[in-house]
Structure 1
């Protein structure tokens, strides 16, 4: 049975749902369509500052015009293991070169409390956390990183 017929959203659909909710939640984030820039989801239209709703790592404020890539991962996957963030190398390099940031979101698959944790991290810092890139014939070079490598599990697993 496919995901479409089982009623379970695909990882891409879940990611897009979380992305839209995050952009709606923060007024200084503006959606960027893939036709304009396929390497990030949003840009800041004004200063983005830390709050109870958004924890920052390594930077005190993000200025207007900053590229923001939103990465979403489930708190727990169906097998019980922690979810992972998925990075495409070409997209990551473009974000690093532009001085962009990642906005990481851990979400519950039920969407009852969709955003268990959020953390904003400069792409250059994430570059140091990626242990290696995976090359597979016929696929883009990519990396996966458990959300617990970036976000304190106590923030999610309460």
Structure 2
């Protein structure tokens, strides 16, 4: 079964970030207990903010920090709606409990090139304006637009 285009684009953005950020490595899919881990990236050495990778509310990602990668396109359809990040409630709660972080990326919709990224503590994401949606046959989820994480200038000026 092939992956949805948005899932493939997200995996490419994650791989790009792992290559670009010294100290990021792909996390194993499962922990020692065999359970799926709620994050994609682990810091194998300290990572500091930079012009290309600003942080919100934290000065450094220490070795061992756990990071969940989320990406979206600047716009998602012909009507040019802003891209949204899809958060799963169970995963988000696990990230908060672990003191983990999100790595939010915004992609060019035509090339999937990452044009802006930012690291945000999972606890800070809890305070954003969004609701959890319970849909039959799906895990409870929420959506946030990239404008809740980035100033427009951070994305549109690149």
The normalised TM-score by structure 1 is: 0.90
Which runs of 4 or more aligned residues in structure 1 lie more than 6 Å from their structure 2 counterparts after TM superposition? Answer: none
1:94-140: CA deviation from partner (whole Å, max 9, x where unpaired):
1100000001000102227x121111000000011152100001100
In 1, Cα distance between equivalents of 2:91 and 2:51: 29
Per the TM alignment, residue 32 of structure 1 is displaced from its structure 2 partner at its CA by: 1.2
Query: Does 1:28 find its partner at 2:27?
Result: no
Per the TM alignment, residue 26 of structure 1 is displaced from its structure 2 partner at its CA by: 0.9
The normalised TM-score by structure 2 is: 0.90
Give the match for residue 111 of structure 2.
111
Give the match for residue 11 of structure 1.
6
- Structure 1 vs Structure 2 CA RMSD: 1.4
Per the TM alignment, residue 13 of structure 1 is displaced from its structure 2 partner at its CA by: 0.5
Query: Which ranges of structure 2 fall in alignment gaps of 5 or more residues?
Result: none
1:79-94 matches, cutoff 5 A: 79=78, 80-94=80-94
1:57-100: CA deviation from partner (whole Å, max 9, x where unpaired):
11111111011001001011122111000000011011100000
Query: Does 1:149 find its partner at 2:144?
Result: no
In 2, Cα distance between equivalents of 1:70 and 1:109: 17
Query: Does 1:100 find its partner at 2:95?
Result: no
What's the secondary structure of 1:118's corresponding residue? strand
Number of residue-to-residue matches in the alignment: 150
